[in-house]
C-alpha cells in the first residue's frame, strides 16, 4: 500500500472519443494530450487504482461501477462508425467499488453498485492517454442527479482517505460545457467564467473557495458556461477530498475548438 498522499484532480476531458481520432481533428487535442502526459509524470508509480467521478454518468443516488471487466459506453453522437467499436481494456476493481460504497454509506450518503456500467467517454478519454496499456484498475463514481454542490463536496470529504491508499481521485468534466455556444459569441463568456474559476480555485482562502464554488451560479456567465452543471459538479468531489489544500493549474487552453477557454486543476501538493 502506498504511503504517499496523492493529490486529486479536476480535469477537462475534451470532446468525444478524441484519443482514437485521426487526422486534423485529432490534432486539435494536442495541447490537452501534452498536459495529460505531464500529469502522468506527477503520479509516478504511486497509483494503484483510479476513481473517476464522471460527468457523463448521472444517477438518482450515487453509484459505483463494480465490474471486474467493464465494457464501453459509446455516449457520443455523429462520429465515424469505427469510433463506436473502440475498446479500452483496463480492469475494474470490485474491491475498490465496495470500499467506496461503504465509505459513502458510513457517512450517511446512499450509494449503489452497477455491475453493467462500462467506461464512458468522460473516463476513457482521459485514461487512454494517461494509461494507454490499460494496466491500472479504474472505478467510476456517478454524479447524483440533483447536482447539489454541498453534497458532492461531502462525498469528496468522505473519500479523502483513499488518497493515502494509492487511489487517485479524478473529477472528469469540462470547465466550460455549452455545446450550443461556439464560435465568436462564446469567446468572452468562456474567458470570463474561466477567469472567475481560476481566481476561485487558486487565489482565495479555503473557506472562501468553498463558499464560491457552492455559489458558482453567481459567477460571470455561469449559466452560459454550464446550462446544466453535470460537467462542473465532478470538481466538487475532487475539491472536497482536498479542500484545505492548495490548487494548481495543470492545463489551460484559451481557444479550445477556437472558442472555449478550458482549464484543469490539481488539489494538493506533490510529494515523494
CB 119 within 8 A of CB 17: no
Mean pLDDT, to the nearest integer, of 248-262? 93
Predicted confidence band at 164 (pLDDT cuts at 50, 70, 90)? very high
* Grid cell listed for 13: 476531458
Residues whose CB is less than 8 angstroms from the CB of residue 22 and which lie 6 or more positions away in sequence, other chains included = none
How deeply is 249 buried, as exposed, middle or buried, from its count of CB atoms within 10 A (0-12, 13-18, 19+)? middle
Domain map (residue ranges) of the chain: 8-267
Query: How far, in Å, CA of 1 to CA of 219, rounded?
Result: 41
Query: How far, in Å, CA of 126 to CA of 142, rounded?
Result: 16
pLDDT digits (tens, 9 = 90+) for 204-239: 999 999 999 999 999 999 999 999 999 999 999 999
Residue 85 in this model has a pLDDT that exceeds 80: yes
pLDDT digits (tens, 9 = 90+) for 89-139: 999 999 999 999 999 999 999 999 999 999 999 999 999 999 999 999 999
Predicted confidence band at 1 (pLDDT cuts at 50, 70, 90)? very low
**CATH superfamily of domain region 8-267:** LigB-like (3.40.830.10)
Q: Is the dihedral of CA 51, 53, 58, 61 positive or negative?
A: positive
Which residue is it, cell 484559451? 254
Report the half-sphere exposure of 213 (CA within 13 A, side-chain side).
31
- What confidence score (pLDDT) does residue 3 get? 63
Query: How far, in Å, CA of 208 to CA of 199, rounded?
Result: 11
Query: How far, in Å, CA of 85 to CA of 116, rounded?
Result: 18
Predicted confidence band at 41 (pLDDT cuts at 50, 70, 90)? confident
Range with lowest mean pLDDT among 96-100, 120-124, 262-266, 267-271:
267-271
Residue 150 in this model has a pLDDT that exceeds 80: yes
Query: How far, in Å, CA of 136 to CA of 182, rounded?
Result: 36
Amino acid at each position: 500500500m502506498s504511503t504517499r498522499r496523492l493529490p486529486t484532480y479536476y480535469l477537462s476531458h475534451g470532446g468525444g472519443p478524441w484519443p482514437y481520432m485521426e487526422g486534423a481533428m485529432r490534432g486539435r487535442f494536442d495541447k490537452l494530450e501534452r498536459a495529460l502526459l505531464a500529469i502522468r509524470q506527477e503520479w509516478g508509480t504511486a497509483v494503484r487504482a483510479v476513481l473517476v467521478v464522471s460527468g457523463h454518468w448521472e444517477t438518482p443516488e450515487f453509484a459505483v461501477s463494480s465490474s471486474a471487466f467493464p465494457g464501453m459506453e459509446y455516449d457520443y453522437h455523429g462520429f465515424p462508425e469505427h469510433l463506436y467499436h473502440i475498446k479500452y481494456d483496463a480492469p475494474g476493481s470490485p474491491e475498490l467499488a465496495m470500499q467506496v460504497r461503504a465509505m459513502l454509506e458510513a457517512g450517511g450518503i446512499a450509494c449503489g453498485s452497477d455491475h453493467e456500467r462500462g467506461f464512458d467517454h468522460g473516463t476513457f478519454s482521459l485514461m487512454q492517454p494517461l494509461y494507454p496499456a490499460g494496466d491500472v484498475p479504474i472505478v467510476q463514481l456517478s454524479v447524483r442527479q440533483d447536482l447539489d454542490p454541498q453534497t458532492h463536496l461531502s462525498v469528496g470529504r468522505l473519500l479523502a482517505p483513499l488518497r493515502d491508499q494509492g487511489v487517485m481521485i479524478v473529477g472528469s468534466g469540462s470547465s466550460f460545457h455549452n455545446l450550443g455556444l461556439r464560435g465568436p459569441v462564446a469567446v468572452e463568456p468562456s474567458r470570463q467564467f474561466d477567469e472567475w474559476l481560476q481566481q476561485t480555485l487558486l487565489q482565495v482562502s479555503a473557506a472562501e473557495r468553498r463558499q464560491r464554488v457552492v455559489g458558482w451560479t453567481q459567477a460571470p456567465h455561469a449559466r452560459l458556461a454550464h446550462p446544466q452543471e453535470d460537467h462542473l459538479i465532478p470538481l466538487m468531489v475532487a475539491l472536497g477530498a482536498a479542500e484545505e489544500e492548495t490548487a494548481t493549474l495543470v492545463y489551460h487552453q484559451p481557444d479550445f475548438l477556437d472558442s472555449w477557454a478550458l482549464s484543469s486543476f490539481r488539489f494538493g501538493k506533490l510529494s515523494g
